Amino acid sequence: MAIRKGVTNLSRFLLEEQRNFPEATGDFTLILEQIAFAAKIISREVNKAGIVNILGKADSSNIHGEQQQKLDVFANEKMIQALDHTGKICAMASEEVDDIINIPSKYPKGKYLVVFDPLDGSSNIDVNISIGTIFGIYKRVSSEGDGCRQDFMQPGRNLVAAGYVIYGSSTMFVYTTGRGVNGFTLDPSVGEFLLSHENMTTPEFGSIYSINEANYHKWDERIRNYVDHLKNIKERQYTSRYIGSLVADFHRNLLKGGVFLYPGDSKNPRGKLRLLYEASPLAFIVEQAGGLAVDGDNNILDIIPENLHQKTPLIIGSKFEVELFKKYW
């Protein structure tokens, strides 16, 4: 495919993709464009966080009992506002909201569901470290009208699209509809996401492992053995990189190759990350890029959620390192 860097904005790319599918209605394109719109607003706010009084904690707590950051609340609102009126969605679910988010009665309902973590890694906001938004899109299972909780109990394998936005040294929008992964970088001077990373693939193996090693003594012996093994592989010198901001850790490893782990441990047996908002969308992306994601026993994409905020261990990255993990499990 010809390199279209610099001249292809996200809207044009989506339109060209849509033309490859004569049966496409454009519903999907609209949803993705609206998510990108929310991302631009969030990006603007994240970038000026240091100069306006938006840093710091909000007064509310979320369902997980964590104190929400003001920007968490802001990002959550922007995602909902960007999507609720489109007529293409029947319900949403957010990491920051207890129950499913219904579409206001004044708007028509569509066949899609959107799940999102509006601002992941938000404890890093105050120290100027990259954070991100993660999203996934499913088709409803219920027939019509408002979506219901049962609609969301679908495995990641059913995702029709997934993506993330990283608010880093630049802001990037990366997504897949199951036909490869493409990345767009925000040009703030024109306010457009421009195609910068066409057909992204992850290396078959890498030299990075990412895990919160302070939890070493809380890990299962199998995790300890695996990480110890990586340190001692003769053919390759691994390096440890851990930001503690999932999107940033994932994005780096996607480009460079390697493995990210947030396993269960004696304190948090199911780890810390959420299946619906974090693990499944990133697993869908990594598989599209040639990588793999497991919880230890299962491929992440095969896990059927039993509740909206279910946690899962996550081992995700290049095929070699994840397959090696499976041998240790």
Q: Which stretch binds ligand AHM (CB under 6 A): 104-112, 167-175, 193-201, 238-246?
A: 238-246
Beta strand ranges found along the chain (DSSP E): 57-61, 67-69, 89-94, 101-102, 112-120, 131-139, 161-167, 171-176, 181-187, 192-200, 208-210, 239-240, 258-262, 292-294, 314-317
Stretch touching ligand AHM by CB under 6 A, among 45-53, 119-127, 143-151, 198-206: 119-127
- Tokens in use for 87? 């007529």
The values of phi and psi at residue 141, to 5°, are: -105, -35
Residue 117 makes contact with ligand AHM by CB under 6 A: yes
- Tell the smallest beta-carbon distance from residue 315 to ligand AHM (Å): 13
Q: Where are the alpha helices (DSSP H) in the chain?
A: 10-19, 27-47, 70-83, 221-232, 246-256, 280-288, 319-328
Task: Find residue 91's DSSP bridge partners.
Answer: 102, 113
Q: Decide: 290 and 323 in contact? Cβ < 8 Å.
A: no
Minimum distance of ligand AHM from residue 181's CB (angstroms) = 20
User: Would the CA dihedral through 208, 210, 215, 217 be positive or negative?
Assistant: negative
Q: Which of 252, 272, 311, 319 binds ligand AHM (CB under 6 A)?
A: 272
Which span sits near ligand AHM by CB under 6 A: 107-115, 242-250, 286-294, 303-311? 242-250
Decide: is 11 part of the binding site for ligand AHM (CB under 6 A).
Answer: no
Measured from the CB atom, the residue of 45 and 120 that comes closer to Mg ion is 120
Short-list 252, 211, 255, CA closest to 231: 211
Task: Please identify the residue of the shown chain whose CB is closest to the bound Mg ion.
Answer: 120
Shorter beta-carbon distance to Mg ion: residue 72 or 265 = 72
Residue 287 interacting with ligand AHM (CB under 6 A): no
Q: Tell me the pairing of strands 192-200 and 181-187.
A: antiparallel
Stretch that binds ligand AHM, among 13-21, 148-156, 239-247, 297-305 (CB under 6 A): 239-247
Within a 10 A sphere around the Cβ of 138, how many other Cβ atoms? 24
Nearest-approach distance from CB 142 to ligand AHM, in angstroms: 28
Distance CA 260, CA 271 (A): 13
The least CB distance from residue 120 to Mg ion, in Å, is 4
**Interface residue with Mg ion, options 96, 120, 295, 321 (CB under 5 A):** 120
User: Of ligand AHM, Mg ion, none, which one does residue 272 interact with (CB within 5 to 8 Å by kind)?
Assistant: ligand AHM
Per DSSP bridges, beta strands 112-120 and 89-94 are parallel
Shorter beta-carbon distance to ligand AHM: residue 121 or 163:
121
Positions in 28-87 near ligand AHM (CB under 6 A): 66
> Binding residue for Mg ion (CB under 5 A) from 117, 151, 249, 287?
117
Question: By C-beta, is 194 or 273 nearer to ligand AHM?
Answer: 273
Residue 246 and residue 121: Cα distance in Å, rounded? 6
Contacts of 324 (CB under 8 A, 6+ apart): 226, 229
State the residues that interact with ligand AHM by CB under 6 A.
66, 95, 117, 120-122, 212, 244-246, 262, 272
State the residues that interact with Mg ion by CB under 5 A.
117, 120
